[in-house]
Amino acid sequence: MNEIYHALVLNLHQPPSNLDDLLETNAWEVKEILFAYDRMPRTLWGYEDLARVHLSMSGTLLETLSSPEFQRRVYGTVDCGTLLWALQNQKIFEILGTGYYHPVLPLIPEADWDEQIARWQALAGHVFWRGHFAGFWPPEMGFCMEMIPHLKRAGYRYVLVDSEYVDPVDSMSWQETRYRPHIAEYDGEDIVIVVRDRDLSNAQLSGMDYGWFYHELHERTKWCDFPPLVTTATDGDNGGWFRNVNPKANFWTYFYREALEQIRQGYSSLRPMFITEYLDRFGAHGRVTVRRGAWNTDEHHGWDFHQWQGSQSQRDAMTRVHAVSRQLHDLERQAARLAPQHPELGHHLAEARWRLLRAETSCHFYWGEAWVHRAHGDLDRVAEHLGDAEATVTAVGGGAASNPDVDAPVGG
């Protein structure tokens, strides 16, 4: 029986300060989330020879888990320091790069992409004690071809995309399109495209048993005349399937451990594999293009990013993000020319920069209009710092600083 290679991908993200805030309002939910994280290494520790899991952890989540104060507050629930140490086990876990504040990259200004990517790399390099991450997880699986040169400059070998948006350039079958890595090129740069199976990923998120999954794998790959790589990718900390503390009703102890036991006993042709190992052994084949889009949410397909820009208030907030970003980058260019070492100016620009990046988090836009005020709150503070920076630039330069179109601060 031909081997079927499986890349399990999980996205872990919590909005800025969310876990700290929940400790005050819903401590049990914090426990559920932390138990979901802690359950991964505890379940897989005895399966180093078989288990292979790709993890994307947002910068805001890593920031919280590595905070000494947060670690102190939850020590009786989960030892976060030990958890982060356990996730360094490269026999079991492959850490994927992502954007620090979990932005939907195609929706935010392209001028901010590199900073979102680089800030995550800096923090994750410190937390996980490594200088290179091979794969990139676009937050919300929001991808567009323009991202390829940015990802290549950051050192990424491959990027994950949703199966709904992959269009073959070279001739290939349905199975080849979905179950084989490909190459996509934009502006003279190319990158490996790893395709997420949307249907099987939906099942992974909602709950499934091993027998059903194994049957589906065989039915979907039985006509493959190549080693198939089936990629399933979902959130790993949302929903009852991953948070449930009942060992007979959660992903790790009910489904994944059973899959590993079947492999160990010689009853299964399923082979968990890191994507990097698959690429090293089998390579990528065929050229594709990828249409702009995101993964599916509970109510929306993802092709038009409706989840994050369906209402006028969501669109207005994102328009303001773009305007504020233009002003920030303009002032940064002026500062670099007029006063590159000015401490007060550097302080205001640095404060404005991280608050702008935080305003871009997908969560501010995901929940309809409920969290849009958080984006405006960050942008209000950005505007204050940019006003001070602009005054300093004017004083240093002996004239008026340029002032691109940017909304005045608004209330939340």
What is the per-residue pLDDT across 195-204, written as a single tens digit (0 to 9) for each? 999 999 999 9
- Report residue 287's pLDDT band, with 50, 70 and 90 as the boundaries: very high
- Report residue 128's pLDDT band, with 50, 70 and 90 as the boundaries: very high
Report the pLDDT averaged over residues 220-224: 97
Contact 259, 35 (CB under 8 A): no
Percent of the chain with pLDDT over 90: 86
Residues whose CB is less than 8 angstroms from the CB of residue 144 and which lie 6 or more positions away in sequence, other chains included? 105, 106, 290, 292
Query: Considering the entire predicted model, what is its pTM?
Result: 0.94
- Report residue 407's pLDDT band, with 50, 70 and 90 as the boundaries: very low
In angstroms, the CA 116 to CA 108 distance is: 10
**Regarding predicted confidence, which is higher, 304 or 397?**
304
Res 404 pLDDT > 50? no
Q: Beta-carbon neighbour count of residue 166 at 10 Å?
A: 19
290 pairs with which residues across the strands? Answer: 166
* Res 403: pLDDT: 52
Pairing of strands 229-235, 135-136: unpaired
The residue assigned the tokens 């996980």 is 128
* Res 399: pLDDT: 59
Q: What share of the chain is helix, strand, coil (3-state, %, to 5)?
A: 50, 15, 35
* Res 366: pLDDT: 86
* Res 123: pLDDT: 98
* Res 333: pLDDT: 94
> Among 194-208, 212-226, 239-253, 387-401, which stretch is predicted with the lowest mean pLDDT?
387-401
Interior angle at CA 389, CA 385 and CA 391, nearest 5? 120
Phi/psi for 266 (5° steps) reads 85, 15
pLDDT tens digit sequence for 29-73: 999 999 999 999 999 999 999 999 999 999 999 999 999 999 999
Res 408 pLDDT > 90? no
Res 223 pLDDT > 60? yes
C-alpha closest to that of 35 among 255, 246, 234, 201: 246
C-alpha neighbours within 13 Å on the C-beta side of residue 299: 7
Res 386 pLDDT > 80? yes
In angstroms, the CA 371 to CA 363 distance is: 7
* Res 214: pLDDT: 97
- Report residue 304's pLDDT band, with 50, 70 and 90 as the boundaries: confident
User: Rounded mean pLDDT of the chain?
Assistant: 94
In angstroms, the CA 386 to CA 10 distance is: 37
C-alpha closest to that of 352 among 373, 326, 372: 326
Res 28 pLDDT > 50? yes
- Report residue 411's pLDDT band, with 50, 70 and 90 as the boundaries: very low
Burial 77-86, CB ≥16 within 10 A → b, else e? ebebeebbeb
- Report residue 412's pLDDT band, with 50, 70 and 90 as the boundaries: very low
Res 392 pLDDT > 70? yes
Report the pLDDT averaged over residues 326-338: 94
Report the pLDDT averaged over residues 1-13: 95
**Regarding predicted confidence, which is higher, 393 or 211?**
211
Report the pLDDT averaged over residues 89-105: 98
**Regarding predicted confidence, which is higher, 398 or 257?**
257
* Res 295: pLDDT: 87
Res 317 pLDDT > 80? yes
